[in-house]
Amino acid sequence: MEILADVWDDIMQGLIEPLYYFNDPEKRISYFYLISSLLLAYYVYYKAKEKIPFYKYIFNKKIWLSKSAFIDYKYFFFNGIIKVVLIAPLVNTWWYLGVSINDWMEESFGFSKTLLSENELIVYYTLTLVVLSDLLIYLIHLAMHKIPFLWEFHKIHHSATTLNPITQYRLHPVELIVNNIALVLLSSFLVGFFDYYYAGSVKAATYLEVNIFVVLFLFWGSSLRHSHVKLKYFHFLERFLLSPFQHQLHHSDNPAHFDKNMGSKLAIWDWIFGTLVRSSQVTKIRFGLGKSEEKNYNSFFKTLYMPFKNIGLFLLGKK
Ligand SMILES: [Zn+2]
Ligand SMILES: [Zn+2]
């Protein structure tokens, strides 16, 4: 009975937790970035000389109340539960893993002769984390597109036929777990590595402070990545930073745009690996997996079990 009560508590906590995202400066849907996104959206609306009132342009019923959007909303809460039950225990291990890596380095190489001050430590750690986690996210995303069984799970994100800021949470739990394991391993490794070069004792909080790069990125309309607002950056800048429209292109059902713009914040990985498409190269796009596939993903339950069904059929040689 006690276990049942615990599970119930976790589910309740998981359902409530996503609501705090609106007040969390590390989340794209924090009210602060939603306001900045709204201002940027007004700029796009003004430039495009739209004929409808602004509120109708933003709160378009066909987008926010579409069948696809309701699947996103269900994922928002469902993944909240997955985070509390499966991912939080995983994330809690990162610090211990980092400490173990630090101990291992001290045992293997002795104490470091070069030592960093606390400020240096924060700057180097943050910069390395921003760049390496961005590269890691790109590589995982590339794998999701190129490895057939991973694509079955990632398809859920691409099955959205309308985009709104909540669509970013439309991730199959398997994808969510893969992403989190990879990021926990990376940050643990970096904490262990940088701690080795620091003389004082660092607290977990030092490493967890919201960093300025993330705030700047989120501020420049990252909530618009999943939206119908075509915010583009200058042509040259889109080779370094991905604009919201470049991510919308990633959701295009046109085969010419498949496997393009797979980066998160930086566009340089797409540029280096030859998967970059810039806004000026494209005009009109339609979101989703294409008409023939869409009916297989038009309900929340279908999106949850479809990957397992397709992988099963493949293993049985029926696909
Ligand atoms: Zn993708
Ligand atoms: Zn997306």
pLDDT tens digits along 237-281: 999 999 999 999 999 999 889 999 999 999 999 999 999 999 988
Query: Distance, CA 164 to ligand 2 centroid (Å)?
Result: 10
pLDDT of residue 223: 86
Q: What are phi and psi of 241, to 5 degrees?
A: -125, 135
Smallest-distance ligand from the CA of 287? 2
Under the banding of pLDDT at 50, 70 and 90, the label for residue 18 is: confident
**Beta carbons within 10 angstroms of residue 32's beta carbon:** 16
Smallest-distance ligand from the CA of 259? 1
Q: How far apart are the C-alpha atoms of 278 and 247, rounded to whole Å?
A: 10
Query: Distance, CA 288 to ligand 1 centroid (Å)?
Result: 11
pLDDT in tens, 47-98: 988 889 999 999 999 999 999 999 999 999 999 999 888 888 877 777 788 8
What average pLDDT score do residues 41-48 get?
91
Query: Distance, CA 159 to ligand 2 centroid (Å)?
Result: 10
pLDDT in tens, 195-241: 777 766 666 666 666 567 777 777 777 889 999 999 999 999 999 99
pLDDT in tens, 119-167: 777 788 888 888 999 999 999 999 999 999 999 999 999 999 999 999 9
Residue in 133, 178, 116 with CA at minimum distance from that of residue 153: 178
Query: Distance, CA 93 to ligand 1 centroid (Å)?
Result: 28
Average pLDDT of the chain to the nearest whole number: 88
Query: Distance, CA 211 to ligand 2 centroid (Å)?
Result: 23
Q: How far apart are the C-alpha atoms of 105 and 196, rounded to whole Å?
A: 7
Query: Distance, CA 180 to ligand 2 centroid (Å)?
Result: 17
Smallest-distance ligand from the CA of 226? 2
Query: Distance, CA 138 to ligand 1 centroid (Å)?
Result: 10
Query: Distance, CA 163 to ligand 2 centroid (Å)?
Result: 8
CB of 287 within 8 A of CB of 252? yes
Residue in 63, 14, 43 with CA at minimum distance from that of residue 287: 63
Amino acid symbol at 174: V
Query: Distance, CA 39 to ligand 1 centroid (Å)?
Result: 27
**Beta carbons within 10 angstroms of residue 119's beta carbon:** 8
As beta bridge partners, residue 241 has 266
Q: How far apart are the C-alpha atoms of 241 and 234, rounded to whole Å?
A: 10
pLDDT of residue 210: 58
Evaluate if residue 287 carries a pLDDT over 80. yes
Query: Distance, CA 223 to ligand 2 centroid (Å)?
Result: 11
Under the banding of pLDDT at 50, 70 and 90, the label for residue 300 is: very high
pTM above 0.75, yes or no: yes
Query: Distance, CA 169 to ligand 2 centroid (Å)?
Result: 9
Evaluate if residue 318 carries a pLDDT over 70. yes
What token pair was written down for 259?
């496997």
Residue in 139, 173, 161 with CA at minimum distance from that of residue 288: 161
Query: Distance, CA 110 to ligand 1 centroid (Å)?
Result: 43
pLDDT of residue 267: 95
Query: Distance, CA 118 to ligand 1 centroid (Å)?
Result: 38
